[in-house]
Amino acid sequence: MGNQNTTSFQILKDLPTSLSESQCVLHKHELLLCGGANKRTCYSYHTLKNEYKFICKYPRDVELNGHCVMKLVDNDNEDSNQIILLSFGGYPKHTLTMKYVSIWDNMSNKSNDSNNFNEWIHQFIIERNKYHYYGGLRAVIGGRNNNLLFITYPNYICV
């Protein structure tokens, strides 16, 4: 076989900071990198421009020791430039949402109430038992109307 150095992966520019166990979400031409183990920073990588931009930081009281980030499905608004992200889990547990509008767009395209965009906001608690460790959790939205959130973590599944 020899020394074949072929790959179907593209090598990207280095991140401005190192992220371990980061969660990623794809939105149009952006890869959103949301925090990591003991790192609260979030970045957008533009796949066409091959560049990163800083989005925001998680709140100071949130430690990202095993978390999950996912894009919530909005069937009524598929063409919108705005998406809603959900970040939850870890230890200690957190549940946050973000209304994300591309940081690559012109600021004039955003709503007049732009301070509600691109920042993590504390929300409801998903699981009642505060002692469960959510490290390594995974989640998917499903059901007939995409109205169910399936969460798996070691020895548990919640719907």
Domain positions in the chain are: 63-158
Token duo for residue 111: 């709503």
Q: Name the pTM for this structure.
A: 0.79
Token readout for 112 is: 């007049």
Q: How many C-beta neighbours within 10 Å does residue 81 have?
A: 13
The stretches in the chain having pLDDT less than 70 are: 1-6, 73-79, 91, 107-115, 124-135
Give the per-residue pLDDT at 109: 47
pLDDT of residue 112: 45
Strand pairing class (23-27; 39-46): unpaired
Helix (H, G, I), strand (E, B) or coil at 114: helix
Note the pLDDT of residue 90. Answer: 73
Query: Smallest Cα–Cα separation from 12: which of 46, 55, 58, 60?
Result: 46
> Please, are residues 39 and 17 in contact by the beta-carbon 8 Å criterion?
yes
* Residue 38, pLDDT score: 82
pLDDT of res. 12: 80
pLDDT at 108: 40
